[in-house]
Amino acid sequence: MTENQTRIVITGLGQISALGNTIEQLSEALDSQQSGIRTLEQIPYEHLIASYGGEAWGFTGNIDNYGPLEKTTMRAIKKGSRLMCREIQMGVASAQHALNDAGLNPEVYNPDRIGIVYGCDYILSHPQEFREGVRASLGDEGRFEFDNWAENGMPNLNPLWLLKYLPNMPASHIGIYNDLRGPSNSLTMREASSNLAIGEAIGTIERGDADLMISGATGTRIHPLRTVYVNRQEVLASNRFEADKASRPFEKDREGMVIGEGAGSFVLERLEHALERKAKIYGEIVGFGSSTVINTDFTPQFQQAISNVIEQALSAAGMTADEIGHINAHGISKIETDRAEAKAIQAAFGNQKPVVALKSYTGNMGAGSGAVELIGSLEALRKGVLFRTLNYDTPDPECDINVSNATDIPSGNSFINLSVTPQGQASAVIVKTYES
């Protein structure tokens, strides 16, 4: 990092996941090695590959899930909740937790200098949104008739239904509820979204367009329609293992990923601004990388994409691989993807640097994964030791990396957070302990 480069720190955290609705609950689950994966409750699973997932079990969408709120903000969120699907609610709730954690409210900040960059999956509507419209469009034989849709079906749709499912709405709601008037942007890059949103938020501050940014992402693989799609298109773990044993990143007997849901949010702040208001600082963001590598036949090149973002992030941070304390891996538990990621990690860091994989606790939360995983590593920096990667019983010989399998491994004072999509879009962020 050059002497005149803008320094950006993390001053607020919030998360919603299978490990709870607060940072404290997540931290306690990691300390006690308590998996958040168990039998699904939101959707029927009789015809699915597996009967389990990492649902955000404690998240109901009730106003008390959003943390401490001022009365005006509470009223606004209650009123707006009917226009937020579950994914959006989780994102907004985690952002409200982060704002509260950072000690921010409209009386202590300039709303014109605070913006939002938020990541999200593309969001699928819930089938119930169309139920009455479809019923009204049935013909005499009980079959859906397209010719009846315009006249009989559409009048039965909620005219505002689409607002519940637009992927730019997490950022919109966060801005509206908190009167944030700075730059606003939304990214939909699947699992890479969290780190990419942080990278864009950093750029916004560096350009001088804001002093403080809200960033993060929300996502899910647990949904009446999306889960069916995932079961047909993705490589999933089966019911061969018990629920809490199914997500097995880099382990020899792994089968595939486990579905999950969640959101994580951050308050990112120009260092001088944070010091001026005496904010607590969780860490300093010093590096970022983004890369997509795809063959001419459209098959992804995971290893090259991940290698690229590691190199980019280290270069941006002005750090060597030896200076990284630990690696928070994508660790999705798919055989091909894990092996490609392990080769990229091994090529850059060797096989001695400790690697953690939080998806062993939560499953794949889609866009929300990277954010919650980054929070897990921030907690490890705070404690000085890494959490244990669950279910790592027998190493895959083709994953020659040092996966954390104990509770006394030092976290170091920095980490790199890695994410990659099934299409070969990778992203990385490097965070280190703040030093004045």
DSSP tally for the chain: helices H, then strands E: 12, 13
Residue 267: alpha-carbon gap to chain centroid: 15
Residue 57 CB neighbour total at 10 angstroms: 15
Cα radius of gyration rounded to whole Å, the chain: 21
pLDDT for 110 equals 87
Give the pTM. 0.96
The domain locations on the chain are 10-124+165-432, 127-162
- Dmax over CA atoms of the chain, in Å, equals 75
pLDDT for 106 equals 66
Residue 92 CB neighbour total at 10 angstroms: 31
335, two tokens: 């055989």
Tens digit of pLDDT for each residue in 220-277?
A: 999 999 999 899 989 999 999 999 999 999 999 999 999 999 999 999 999 999 999 9
Side-chain half-sphere CA neighbours of 19 within 13 A: 31
Q: In this structure, are residues 57 and 278 in contact, taking their beta carbons and an 8 Å threshold?
A: no
Q: Which of 342, 367, 388, 345 is nearest to 118 (CA)?
A: 367
Amino acid at 61: G
Q: What is the pLDDT along the chain (436 residues), one digit of tens a residue?
A: 445 689 999 999 999 999 999 999 999 999 999 999 999 999 999 999 999 999 999 999 999 999 999 999 999 999 999 999 999 999 999 999 999 999 997 677 789 999 999 999 989 999 999 999 999 999 989 999 999 999 999 999 998 899 999 999 999 999 999 999 999 999 999 999 999 999 999 999 999 999 999 999 999 999 999 999 899 989 999 999 999 999 999 999 999 999 999 999 999 999 999 999 999 999 999 999 999 999 999 999 999 999 999 999 999 999 999 999 999 999 999 999 999 999 999 999 999 999 999 999 999 999 999 999 999 999 999 999 999 999 999 999 999 999 999 999 999 999 999 999 999 999 999 999 999 8
Amino acid at 120: C
pLDDT for 229 equals 87
Classified by CATH at the fold level, domain 10-124+165-432 comes out as Peroxisomal Thiolase; Chain A, domain 1 (3.40.47)
Tens digit of pLDDT for each residue in 183-219?
A: 999 999 999 999 999 999 999 999 999 999 999 999 9
Q: In this structure, are residues 293 and 320 in contact, taking their beta carbons and an 8 Å threshold?
A: no
pLDDT for 329 equals 98
